[in-house]
Amino acid sequence: MAPEDLELRHGRFRASVRPAAGGSLSGFWFRHEEAPGGEVPVLRPAPPGTTAPLQMASFPLVPFCNRIAGGAFDWQGRTVRLSPNHPGDPFPLHGYGWYAPWRVEAAEPTRVSLRWDHEPGEWPWAFAARADYAL
């Protein structure tokens, strides 16, 4: 677990959340006494200190998931054009939240609530996203 992670524990489960790295889940483990180190990773843990979203165990996909083909879509008579946001991909991928630091709204030993506020820009609508992780 990296120093910037928030650790959650409940029973035999442990999770780490990295708010500064797109509100990501940076690891999830199950305690098993016979496993090396006493834990089994349920999801691949992120390297300590990384902020690269694709190295995380999981991350929020907001305001859209997957790719927007051609980088544009029509909405209520308007064409919205979006630039690629991931190196090497010709189309916008997974929204914008995965590259933004998220704010911790509440943290307890078994749960954390994160929030990210998006102001209009290339994605033309303001919105707030919340990620709740709980064990």
pLDDT score of 103: 97
Average pLDDT, whole number, for the chain?
93
**Spatial distance between the Cα atoms of 86 and 51, rounded to a whole number of angstroms:** 14
pLDDT tens digits for range 27-75:
999 999 888 889 999 999 999 888 898 999 999 999 999 999 999 999 9
CB contact at 8 A, 83 and 92: yes
Tokens of 33: 């006494």
In this predicted model, what pLDDT tens digit does every residue of 69-98 receive, in sequence order?
999 999 999 999 999 988 888 999 999 999
pTM of the predicted protein model: 0.90
Please write down the long-range contacts of 124-133, taking CB distance under 8 Å and 24 or more positions apart: 124/80, 125/63, 127/62, 127/63, 129/23, 129/60, 129/62, 129/63, 129/97, 130/105, 131/23, 131/60, 131/102, 133/8, 133/15, 133/17, 133/25
